[in-house]
């Protein structure tokens, strides 16, 4: 009966393990075979005098990264990693690996990201790479747990759509029989429609697609969005949910992912403190104006240099609130007493934007007016607008980038490190 490597302890008498050959060190009369499964690496020790010759020959012949089965006696010994080793009685090569390998799984020699992504299945055998995706899985689990326990309903909305959600960004056109169609850039309109359907609290974790030809370490053409929408809530309510969610995700990772955090050899992992500061847009602009050479005026969008300067000043997660209505999408609710600013917010990490959200416009006439002001045609949104004519609760929500959350949490240098099979300007395979 196979057991995980981690469960082989000095107290075991015998053990059977399966895994990949991480390394073979042949010292002549003594050979060491390191076998790796997803729980760890164990040493199989082959002394010439105690092990059958056919096993010794097989161990010497096996290529790195082959899949093997080893059964034998467990010996407690301080000199071995983990304080134990297996002396094999059975050694079987289940699946032989070809050589040379496209990249070095044992990480003696580094590999460039491009090389790694070409052979992602091998790259992901590296413990420090695998750790990222185990942690990402825990993040997804934490988000689900948090939102379900807060009474949110999980929904799934179409990824093939007929129109843009907010204009601006480029969409991927696709062939949909005789019709024009696109991959969705955001579930925004659909989650709002479910507020119109009376669901009150909804969320979705799903793919979004942006056809922008950007070439940066923080953009993807296919990303995962954690999206939430809540009825009878304003922007402040959903901001509180957002910061609370972020903290509970960090706590989950801290609690459940110790070995993975260790494998990553992170400098520091710490749970952010709440509440995150609420920085009005006008003040953010002021900070950026003082700290950067580039002139920035009220009403400008916050560019990369400004974002970096403000991030340095704030030093941790923070919200930028009270944005000018002119630079936010049509569905953001303007303040009643000053319609030039709106109830929109961005959640920022010092490195980049993580989330944006707002209280939404729920009044049909105002929404149509704002769509027109953005130079868009309300008729192409009629499927979206119709629910606003038949009773629409006031509501607010946000979208949070899953990859950016993982990237900033783990200090990854490139967002592609947070996706198994990234889609960027040049990469469509694997």
Partner RNA sequence: GCCCAGGUAGUGUAGUGGCCUAUCAUGUCGGCCUGUCACGCCGACGACUCGGAUUCGAAUUCCGACCUGGGCGCCA
Q: 223-282: which residues touch RNA (CB under 7 A)?
A: 223, 225
Q: Which stretch binds RNA (CB under 7 A): 6-14, 199-207, 250-258, 296-304?
A: 296-304
The interface with RNA within residues 74-103 (CB under 7 A) comprises 77, 79-81, 85, 99-103
Instruction: Decide: is 427 part of the binding site for RNA (CB under 7 A).
Output: yes
Q: How far is the CB of 304 from RNA (least distance, A)?
A: 3
- Print the binding letters for residues 338-367 with RNA: x by CB under 7 A, - otherwise: --------x-----xxxxx-----------
Of the candidate residues 157, 192, 221, 370, the single one contacting RNA (CB under 7 A):
221
Nearer to RNA (CB atom), residue 81 or residue 277? 81
Instruction: Decide: is 424 part of the binding site for RNA (CB under 7 A).
Output: yes
Cα–Cα distance measured from residue 39 to residue 5, given in angstroms and rounded to the nearest whole number: 6
The interface with RNA within residues 123-162 (CB under 7 A) comprises none
Of the candidate residues 13, 112, 267, 337, the single one contacting RNA (CB under 7 A):
112
Q: Which stretch binds RNA (CB under 7 A): 214-222, 258-266, 277-285, 377-385?
A: 214-222
Of the candidate residues 15, 86, 105, 111, the single one contacting RNA (CB under 7 A):
111
Of the candidate residues 16, 200, 212, 234, the single one contacting RNA (CB under 7 A):
212
Q: Which stretch binds RNA (CB under 7 A): 126-134, 189-197, 205-213, 280-288?
A: 205-213
Instruction: Decide: is 297 part of the binding site for RNA (CB under 7 A).
Output: no
Of the candidate residues 216, 274, 340, 377, the single one contacting RNA (CB under 7 A):
216
Q: Please say whether the beta carbons of 171 and 164 come within 8 A.
A: yes
Q: Please say whether the beta carbons of 140 and 205 come within 8 A.
A: yes
What SS3 string covers the chain?
A: CECCHHHCCCCCCEEEEEEEEEEEEECCCEEEEEEEECCEEEEEEEECCCCCHHHHHHHHHCCCCCEEEEEEEEEECCCCHHHEEEEEEEEEEEECCCCCCCCCCCCCCCCCHHHHHHCHHHHCCCHHHHHHHHHHHHHHHHHHHHHHHCCCEECCCCCEECCCCCCCCCCCEEEECCEEEEECCCCHHHHHHHHHCCCCEEEEEEEEECCCCCCCCCCCCEEEEEEEEEECCCHHHHHHHHHHHHHHHHHHHHHHCHHHHHHHCCCCCCCCCCCCCEEEHHHHHHHHHHHCCCCCCCCCCCCHHHHHHHHHHHCCCEEEECCEHHHCCCCECECCCCCCEECEEEEEECCEEEEEEEEECCCHHHHHHHHHHCCCCHHHHHHHHHHHHCCCCCEEEEEEEHHHHHHHHHCCCCHHHHCCCCCCCCCCCC
Cα–Cα distance measured from residue 225 to residue 208, given in angstroms and rounded to the nearest whole number: 6
Of the candidate residues 26, 180, 338, 365, the single one contacting RNA (CB under 7 A):
26
Instruction: Decide: is 369 part of the binding site for RNA (CB under 7 A).
Output: no
Nearer to RNA (CB atom), residue 118 or residue 200? 118
The interface with RNA within residues 53-72 (CB under 7 A) comprises 63-64
Q: Please say whether the beta carbons of 324 and 338 come within 8 A.
A: no
Of the candidate residues 2, 14, 27, 197, the single one contacting RNA (CB under 7 A):
27
Nearer to RNA (CB atom), residue 391 or residue 425? 425
Instruction: Decide: is 169 part of the binding site for RNA (CB under 7 A).
Output: yes
Nearer to RNA (CB atom), residue 213 or residue 338? 213
Q: How far is the CB of 135 from RNA (least distance, A)?
A: 18
The interface with RNA within residues 172-201 (CB under 7 A) comprises 186
Nearer to RNA (CB atom), residue 232 or residue 316? 316
Q: Which stretch binds RNA (CB under 7 A): 73-81, 124-132, 150-158, 277-285?
A: 73-81
């Amino acid at each position: 009966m196979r057991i995980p490597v981690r469960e082989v302890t000095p107290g075991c008498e015998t053990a059977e393990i399966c895994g990949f050959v991480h390394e073979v060190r042949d010292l002549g009369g003594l050979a060491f075979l390191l076998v790796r499964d997803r729980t760890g690496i164990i040493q199989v020790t082959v002394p010439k005098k105690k092990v059958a010759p056919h096993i010794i020959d097989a161990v010497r012949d096996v290529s790195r990264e082959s899949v093997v089965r080893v059964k034998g006696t467990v010996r407690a010994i301080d000199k071995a990693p983990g304080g134990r080793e297996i002396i094999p009685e059975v050694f079987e090569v289940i699946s032989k690996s070809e050589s040379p390998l496209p990249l070095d799984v044992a990480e003696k020699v580094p590999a460039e990201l491009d090389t790694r992504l070409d052979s992602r299945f091998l790259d992901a055998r590296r413990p420090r790479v695998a750790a990222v995706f185990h942690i990402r899985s825990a993040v997804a689990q934490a988000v689900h747990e948090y939102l379900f326990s807060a009474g949110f309903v999980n929904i799934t909305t179409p990824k093939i759509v007929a129109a843009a959600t907010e204009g601006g960004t480029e969409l991927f056109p696709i062939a949909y029989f005789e019709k024009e169609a696109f991959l969705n850039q955001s579930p925004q309109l659909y989650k709002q429609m479910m507020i119109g359907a009376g669901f009150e609290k909804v969320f979705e974790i799903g793919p979004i697609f942006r056809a922008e030809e950007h070439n940066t370490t923080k953009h993807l053409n296919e990303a995962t969005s954690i999206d939430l929408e809540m009825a009878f809530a304003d922007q402040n309510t959903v901001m509180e949910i957002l910061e609370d969610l972020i903290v509970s995700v960090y706590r989950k990772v801290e609690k459940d992912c110790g070995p993975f955090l260790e494998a990553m050899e992170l400098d520091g992992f710490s749970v952010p403190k709440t509440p995150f500061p609420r920085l009005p847009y006008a003040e953010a602009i002021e900070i950026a104006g003082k700290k950067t050479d580039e002139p920035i005026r009220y009403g400008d969008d916050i560019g990369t240099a400004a974002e970096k300067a403000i991030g340095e000043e704030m030093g941790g997660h923070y919200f930028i609130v009270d944005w000018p209505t002119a630079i936010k999408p049509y569905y953001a609710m303007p303040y009643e007493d000053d319609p030039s600013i709106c109830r929109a917010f961005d959640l920022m990490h010092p490195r980049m934007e993580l989330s944006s959200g707002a209280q939404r416009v729920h009044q049909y006439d105002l929404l149509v007016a704002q769509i027109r002001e953005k130079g868009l045609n309300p008729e192409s949104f009629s499927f979206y607008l119709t629910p606003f004519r038949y009773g629409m609760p006031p509501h607010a929500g946000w979208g949070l980038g899953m990859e950016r959350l993982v990237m900033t949490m783990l200090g990854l240098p490139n967002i592609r490190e947070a996706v198994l099979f990234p889609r960027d300007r040049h990469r469509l395979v694997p």
